[in-house]
Structure 1
């Protein structure tokens, strides 16, 4: 499956000149955990997450402590440009979701902007990947069979069983057709693995 089939679009963005509180409201109101930071030309210059925005925003409540609590020596950052991450990992619409998921797990990155020739076209997050994996087996089966019927000359002769995203395909023994069927099935959102079986 490709990133463009799982990403969220259009993208909610924030400018670097926004205040931290404005950015917090944007993330909260759109129920997202991070947003790309774009300049006046629309170019991605950073990314800001919930954790970036929350840093320094809360002061200790003296009622929770026996001794007086010293206040912060410096005020918290006020603008998005002060807290955003500038070393941004990005993906392309044609990137492989499996490869991207591995990168996100390896680096603990939760959200990745999607750029097409430098233009921001989407955002993909762990939540988007979870949404793909949450698709029901019956829907996955229907989508796999519809794809095979549409794109293979004998697509209607294939049968499929799906359990927890694993597709078991039964169909013609022709190696070329089997390879194409496996490839098509792997493009269906929610498919995690394809097992080919021969029709008796």
Structure 2
């Protein structure tokens, strides 16, 4: 299964018709759209789909909390969006993105080089120490244009489906 995943491209799994928000959308409307689409975040784009930011449920919740949970504020997505956005290329592999989502390779491999007392075979400990909290959803961007989005749940559904198919082919019970 690993070989299949290592060859799988983001473009093969991405949502090519994602929710994209304009900077002028109000917070109440933006939250409603995220909830209606059952997603946790969305890229913020211009009319021609140029990526200009990113907004998540967490960003909206933080803004609501800061304003005593009032939707009466005249803030819009452009007021709270993140300007620095982690994006992925459609030609990146799914295994690369999955690795990025769960660990920092610098932390993972620094232990092997800097810790002389490290116990051989303690890879799981090293992996746990290298864990990171990263976004669940990523804009798929090429030349500044949003082509789609990819999220953790889509990747996990794909892995699950591949495992089910493999078990069915080998006759193993699911």
TM-score under structure 2 length normalisation: 0.67
CA contact (8 A) 2:19 2:42 kept: yes
Distance 2:161 2:99 in 1: 20
In structure 1, the residue matched to 2:139 is 113
In structure 2, the residue matched to 1:6 is 13
Mapping 1:53-72, distance limit 5 Å: 53-58=60-65
Question: Is 2:96 the counterpart of 1:99?
Answer: yes
Question: Is 2:74 the counterpart of 1:49?
Answer: no
Decide whether aligned partners of structure 1 residues 127 and 138 sit closer, same or farther in structure 2, where only a CA change above 3 A counts.
Answer: closer
Structure possessing the higher relative contact order (Cα contacts under 8 Å, 6 or more residues apart):
2
Distance 1:45 1:84 in 2: 9
The Cα of 1:4 is off from its aligned counterpart by 1.2
Distance 1:119 1:140 in 2: 36
Distance 2:66 2:145 in 1: 39
Match for residue 22 of structure 2 among 15, 26, 34: 15
Higher strand share: 1
Distance 1:113 1:8 in 2: 10
After superposition, the C-alpha distances for 1:127-149 in whole angstroms (9 at most, x for unaligned) are 1111112215453478xxxxxxx
Question: Is 2:121 the counterpart of 1:124?
Answer: no
Distance 1:4 1:46 in 2: 21
Distance 1:163 1:98 in 2: 25
Distance 1:100 1:40 in 2: 28
Give RMSD over aligned pairs. 2.9
The Cα of 1:82 is off from its aligned counterpart by 1.4
Question: Is 2:61 the counterpart of 1:35?
Answer: no
Structure number with bigger Rg: 1
Distance 1:163 1:94 in 2: 33
| Regions of 4+ moved over 6 Å | none
CA contact (8 A) 1:56 1:76 kept: no
Decide whether aligned partners of structure 1 residues 97 and 17 sit closer, same or farther in structure 2, where only a CA change above 3 A counts.
Answer: same
Q: Which runs of 5+ in 2 are unaligned?
A: 1-7, 104-131
CA contact (8 A) 2:63 2:80 kept: no
Q: Which runs of 5+ in 1 are unaligned?
A: 61-70, 143-159, 165-200
Q: How many residues align?
A: 135
CA contact (8 A) 2:42 2:54 kept: yes
